[in-house]
Each structure stands twice: as C-alpha cells, then as structure tokens.
Amino acid sequence: MNKLMSLTCAALMTPMLAQGAFKLDSRYSDNDGDLIADIPAKSEQIDPSTLIFAYTPVEDPSVYAEAWSDFLDHLSEKTGKKVQFFPVQSNAAQIEAMRAGRLHIAGFNTGSNPIAVACGGFRPFTIMASADGSFGYEMEIITHPDSGITDVDGLQGRELAFTSETSNSGFKAPSAILKADYDLVPNRDFTPVFSGKHDNSVLGVANKDYDAAAVANSVMARMLNRGVVSEDQIVSLYKSQTFPTTGYGVAHNLTPELQDKIQQAFFSFEWEGTTLEEEFSKSGEAQFIPITFKEHWEVIRKIDDANGVVYNCR
C-alpha cells in the first residue's frame, strides 16, 4: 500500500515512515511558512514568451483541450503571452514537467497536489467552486449491479480497481479508509489493480471488467451527464467526506508580475457561455475561488501521513 509511483528522471518519490510534517524538496525555500516554494531571486526567475498549461490527466485529453480553449484565450489576453495546452498522460509526467521547467501553469489533482508542491515547486492558488462558493468532491467505491457485492465488507476476496498511486480518491483515501474502518488490506483481503485514470475505472466497472473501483464522484458525474455510462450500470457502496478538488497554480520561478497576471486571469474569467462552463457545469462548478495549500490541503496531507508516506524528490 505504501509503494508509490516513481517519476522518471527528474523526480523520484520514495515511501518512508511518515514524520507527521510536510517538507519541500531541498531545491526550494519556504521562508514565510506557507508550505509552498518561495519565488526565487530575480536572477533565477523566468518570463517565457509561451506559457504551457496542463490539466490533470483524469480523462481523455482531447475533451479537455476543447473545454479549456476559451479560458486559455482569456489567459493569453490577460498575460500578453501565447498559451499552449499540454495534454499530459499521467500525474507523474505532469509533475516531472513542472519540476523540469517545461510546464508553467497547471491543474493538479487532489492527491498529486502535495507531491507537485514538494517536488515540482508548484504554487496552487485557486480551485473551481459552485456559484455559492461551495467546492469539493467525494471518493466513492462503486460496483456494478451483477457483482453480488452489497456493501464494503463484500470486497473481501474480490478485485478493486484504483487509478494511480498519486491519486487521493483513486488510491490514498480509499486505502486509508478501508484499512482503518473495515480492516481491509490490499493483497491480503482483496486484489488491487490500477486502471490509470478515473474514467477507466468507471468504465471498467460499468462494463463489468472490474468488480469494484474507488473513484472521484465529480469525474463520474461528468461521465454520467455526457452519457458515457448510465446510472443503472453503477452501484455506490461508499461515499467519503468532501475533499478539495483539482488545485490550479503556477511554477514557483515565474516572475512575480507574471504570477499576478495569471492569478488575475483566473479570477476575472467570466464563465457564462464558455467552453469551460459547458464542461464543468456538469459537476456544479461555476467560478474560480482563492485557496491556500496550507489550509485547504491539510486533510490530504493527513491522509498521506495515515498511509505512512512522505515524498523524497531527486
């Protein structure tokens, strides 16, 4: 359960016994105690002519290239820069790209945020929220109607699909909850498999390829609304507390002026009638609101501690 996916080349995450405190990689400083990398000295800052943006790889990247198109036009206008959408295929590749300086603005999924902050110098500042300011999603453990599984205890001896080992709802949270609340441990009590993405897990359950899966219900809701799967194909066995959703932010070494312009672009974006509204209104989002990693990701850092992992980056 504590073995984490490795990042190729630039950043390697190694599980160790948790020390109960989040820590940045040694290449970053945090003099103000906000748990994210400080902006470096002026000589180390960058002001690229083209900004690279990546959305967390939870579903088909081509869907989201279109969904983000209106926002990226707005971002280009507000920053005076060209903006390019980068269709990343994995959480590990996304974190490595930011660490290596090839990614400037990104949305990292809930579970990847602490790793991106610690290993990639990611500075999150916003998340999507509903019109009333509420935000978040739940982890659900789902099965299909013909599985014969009627409750969480019924996972004993069956196959449970996770997404990736960096995902909160796709691995970290269900691992901690199943062990703490149900005394269910992978490889001892059930067989874990990894689908790679939330949509793969949802489709796998709907098509009866997996007995059950742990997924983010915000992703599942969008798939249901698009008709990719239907409600009669899914049975929910468990729903967690609400977690923060994808966090959006910037690479730590962009100039302060550019970071300010990027933040202003997020907070000034008018959703109505845009491709972003068309896609994300399906799961209730309607605006960007400010957040801090220190406050809003506290529960996620606690889940990492409960799973007995910290991240070493090299």
Last residue of a domain, one of 243, 278, 298: 243
Q: Evaluate whether residue 197 is within a structural domain.
A: yes
Question: What pLDDT is stored for residue 21 in this prediction?
Answer: 63
Q: In terms of domains, do 126 and 253 share one? A: yes
What is the arithmetic mean of pLDDT over 59-87?
Answer: 92
Question: What pLDDT is stored for residue 15 in this prediction?
Answer: 34
Q: Evaluate whether residue 47 is within a structural domain.
A: yes
Q: In terms of domains, do 52 and 118 share one? A: yes
Question: What pLDDT is stored for residue 74 in this prediction?
Answer: 98
Residues in the chain: 314
Q: Inform me whether the pLDDT recorded for 1 exceeds 80.
A: no
Is the separation of the CB atoms in 258 and 231 below 8 Å? no
Q: In terms of domains, do 236 and 106 share one? A: no
Query: Model confidence over 265-303: pLDDT tens digits?
Result: 999 999 999 999 999 998 899 999 999 999 999 889 888
Mean pLDDT score across all residues of the chain = 90
Q: Evaluate whether residue 266 is within a structural domain.
A: yes
Closest by CA to 212, choosing from 199, 202, 198, 222, is 202
Is the separation of the CB atoms in 255 and 132 below 8 Å? no
Query: Model confidence over 102-146: pLDDT tens digits?
Result: 999 999 999 899 999 999 999 999 999 999 999 999 999 999 999
Q: Evaluate whether residue 8 is within a structural domain.
A: no
Q: In terms of domains, do 97 and 59 share one? A: yes
Question: What pLDDT is stored for residue 10 in this prediction?
Answer: 30
Of all residues in the chain, the percent with pLDDT exceeding 90 is 78
Going by pLDDT thresholds of 50, 70 and 90, the confidence category of residue 166 is confident
Last residue of a domain, one of 225, 243, 261: 243
Identify the domain containing residue 186 by its residue range: 137-243
Is the separation of the CB atoms in 169 and 241 below 8 Å? no
Q: Which residues, in sequence order, are CB contacts of 283 under 8 Å at separation 6+?
A: 137, 218, 219, 221, 222, 225
Q: Which residues, in sequence order, are CB contacts of 41 under 8 Å at separation 6+?
A: none
CA 59 centroid distance within chain = 12
Query: Model confidence over 134-161: pLDDT tens digits?
Result: 999 999 999 999 999 999 999 999 999 9
Q: Evaluate whether residue 18 is within a structural domain.
A: no
Is the separation of the CB atoms in 125 and 243 below 8 Å? no
Is the separation of the CB atoms in 138 and 217 below 8 Å? yes
Q: Evaluate whether residue 209 is within a structural domain.
A: yes
Q: In terms of domains, do 268 and 128 share one? A: yes
Q: In terms of domains, do 208 and 227 share one? A: yes
Q: In terms of domains, do 230 and 158 share one? A: yes
More confident residue, 282 or 223: 223
Query: Model confidence over 22-52: pLDDT tens digits?
Result: 889 999 999 999 999 999 999 999 999 999 9
43 phi/psi in degrees, rounded to 5: -65, -20
Instruction: Give pTM, 2 decimals.
Output: 0.78
Going by pLDDT thresholds of 50, 70 and 90, the confidence category of residue 59 is low
